[in-house]
Amino acid sequence: MRETANKMIWERGAEQRMDFPGYQRVSFPDFTFVVREDFIPMVGTLRQLLYGLVRNEVNSPEIKPFSSGRGVVYLARIESRGEFVIRSYRHGGILGGVFKTRFFGHRRFLKELGLTRMAREAGVTLLEAVGVGYRKAGWGVQGFWITNRIPGAESLFTWIRAHNPSKILIEEIARTIARMHQVGIGHVDLTIQNILVTHSSDLFPVVSVIDFDKAYYRKNLDLHERMDQLRRLDRSLLKWMPDRSPWRSPWVRLQFACAYCRAVPEMKPLIREYISRFRWYEWGYRLGWALQGVKR
């Protein structure tokens, strides 16, 4: 059965429902997909690939696990369409140990689909979602996220371990995040693992934000929410980079702040306050990592 899928974007405290053109729902007795219309002929193949993940058959020629700095995801190949990235939805934190990959419904999956499409239209991400697939699993629902693979893309987590800071790249990261915030998307898991870097033929870096699973939409995104997300990005840099990494230098933080504030001038007071009190924030981060037993 096929029917036009809906884009569902949830504001905090309100629900907004819009048409979601270009995608269709395809239902099987055991799996449901919401995929791009041009992938309708490949839905049967996608179904077989996802069953390989369900049965933990991940060493076949068609699908292989790999680490991207964001944990393990899967690289799948469809002979006629190339390579794709598949991610299984999982709970994080304490819930992850209890519910693992089981959810009470499929709204979370469709929410990410809608937000990713919105981000792509705003020029925030290069990823074009193929769609989502989900199935009834015991008492809950198990879901999978499917996207095209961007050739040559690396997570910022991987990139900065092999390259020195670049003013052009730092400013492009800041502009991309500012653009995301300006269209109303809040990304509460904004880390160096969830930013991709791709270099085009002219060596100009292309930055893309990914993984909108925990993101949300709000028409007027609060400045303090934006600041919290920028602090999370900075915290992830401090957490995962060696102490002597040039990416930890104050120059990097200042270049990022200047570029972001040029795009969003009203953020200047909050960013200035963060930079002026950075040592206090850093000590707080380190204390939190020590209490959590994080080895650095």
Tell me: do 142 and 158 sit in the same domain.
no
State the average pLDDT over residues 242-246: 88
Query: Domain boundary at 93, 123, 148, which?
Result: 148
Q: How many domains does the chain have?
A: 2
Residue 256 burial by CB count (10 A; 0-12/13-18/19+): exposed, middle or buried? buried
State the average pLDDT over residues 74-90: 83
Tell me: do 160 and 283 sit in the same domain.
yes
Residue ranges of alpha helices (H) inside the chain are: 43-54, 93-98, 107-121, 156-162, 167-182, 223-240, 250-263, 268-276, 278-292
Tell me: do 100 and 170 sit in the same domain.
no
Tell me: do 189 and 209 sit in the same domain.
yes
The CATH number given to whatever domain includes residue 284 is 1.10.510.10
3-state secondary structure at position 106: coil
Tell me: do 11 and 128 sit in the same domain.
yes
Is 18 a residue whose pLDDT tops 80? no
Partners of residue 144 on adjacent β-strands? 88, 133
Tell me: do 39 and 125 sit in the same domain.
yes
What length is written for the chain?
Answer: 296
* Structure confidence by residue, pLDDT tens digits, 170-220: 999 999 999 999 999 999 999 999 999 987 655 678 899 999 998 999 988
> What is the Cα gyration radius of the chain?
20
Tell me: do 6 and 135 sit in the same domain.
yes
Q: Determine the structural domain holding residue 17 and report its residue range.
A: 2-148
| Predicted pLDDT at 49 | 85
- Mean residue pLDDT of the chain comes to 85
Tell me: do 17 and 93 sit in the same domain.
yes
Tell me: do 164 and 140 sit in the same domain.
no
Tell me: do 144 and 16 sit in the same domain.
yes
pLDDT-derived band at 143, boundaries 50, 70, 90: very high
State the average pLDDT over residues 156-180: 94
Query: Domain boundary at 148, 172, 199, which?
Result: 148
- Cα separation, 17 vs 116, in Å, equals 15
Query: Domain boundary at 87, 119, 148, which?
Result: 148
- Cα separation, 169 vs 207, in Å, equals 8
Tell me: do 132 and 160 sit in the same domain.
no
Tell me: do 196 and 283 sit in the same domain.
yes
Per the model's pLDDT, the better-predicted residue between 153 and 174 turns out to be 174
The dihedral sign for the CA sequence 236, 211, 51, 77: negative
Tell me the C-alpha to C-alpha distance, in Å, between residue 286 and each of 132, 243, 254.
38, 12, 21
Reference 214, options 103, 131, 92; nearest CA is: 92
